[in-house]
A = this chain, B = another copy of it.
Amino acid sequence: MISSPPVQTAIQVIDRMARLLDAMARYAEPVSLKYLAADTGLHPSTAHRILSALARHGYVERVEPAAWQLGAKLLELGHRVHVGLDVRRAARPVMDRLCEEIGESVNLTLRAGDEVIYVERATPARAIRVEQVIGSRAPLHVTAVGKLWLAEHGPAGIAAYARRTGLPRYTRNTLTDVQTLTDTALVAAQRGYALDDEEAEPGVGCIGCLIRDAGGRVVAGLSVSAPIERRQTAWIPLVQEAADRIAAKLGYMAAAPAADVAAPASDVAVPTV
């Protein structure tokens, strides 16, 4: 059995269900009971019972006897997750266009605590591309938009973040030094865009911008992810333009380029996802 950390509330059947769904998510094609049982370590009869119960509610579907896949109910619930629904709707067409223009993956992220969470994406049709899993997370200091987010709270905020997280290293390029991180973030914020040079994953480079709503608050981040050798600095204005277009849909009036108007950036409320 799963030996949970101390006395958290856990329900065996739900843990097993989660294992089954995760296993199914790893396959692109319908999976047989045999593989699911093996992957999850569950007794076949147990796995079968749970899958059948899930199928009654549409969480999984049985296509042909003995071939299971994730069901339409998950599609429905996934679309009901109201994490940043407004931003997502405003961003989607713009993301699709940007993706087509430059031929690389475009991601929309929200902030959740000390992480960004990927909530929407547009991926090009080419063979080699960078693909983030919707719903997955990444720490702020290893992503382009994450660094912009950090800069919003100033050097003190970055120091606090560093203390909380310890700036774990992900690749050779990850910024693990508070001073370097602070400098990089502040410069990036001033320019209006940030880069990620293989700081989260080797071989992957990003360009990121922030998106503000009508009240001037940062509500999301937009980024392009590409194999590092394909990434071009010429895309930077395109990304900025796209982010601005989304912000405009949300009612944000961009300030005159030079002066910062009235964004009390010191202590922005973090939208808990």
Interface, chain A (partner B; CB < 8 A): 2, 4, 7-11, 13-15, 17-18, 21, 25, 28-29, 48-50, 52-54, 56-59, 61, 63-64, 69-83, 89-90, 92-93, 96-97, 100, 112, 117, 119, 122-123, 125, 133-137, 249, 272-273
Contacts and interface: CB of A to CB of B under 8 A. Distances in A.
B8 A133 contact: no
A86 to B, nearest CB: 10
12 contacts: A10-B56, A14-B14, A15-B57, A21-B77, A28-B82, A61-B273, A69-B81, A72-B81, A74-B80, A90-B125, A93-B93, A125-B249
A225 to B, nearest CB: 16
Given A76-B136, A96-B96, A133-B79, A11 B13 contact: yes
A74 B78 contact: yes
A53 B21 contact: no
Stoichiometry, copies per complex: 2
A49 to B, nearest CB: 6
Contact of A9 (B8, B49, B272): B49
B7 A52 contact: yes
A62 to B, nearest CB: 9
Give the most central of A54, A73, A80: most B CB within 10 Å: A80
B70 A81 contact: yes
Given A74-B81, A76-B134, A78-B79, 11 more contacts: A8-B52, A9-B52, A11-B13, A25-B76, A25-B80, A63-B272, A72-B112, A79-B133, A90-B125, A93-B93, A125-B249
B72 A77 contact: no
Nearest to A24: B80
B77 A15 contact: no
Nearest to A90: B125
Contacts of A273: 61, 63, 72
A112 B93 CA distance: 28
A133 B57 CA distance: 16
Given A75-B83, A272-B63, A9 B53 contact: yes
A117 B93 CA distance: 23
Contacts of A90: 125
A100 B93 contact: yes
Contacts of A82: 28-29, 69-70
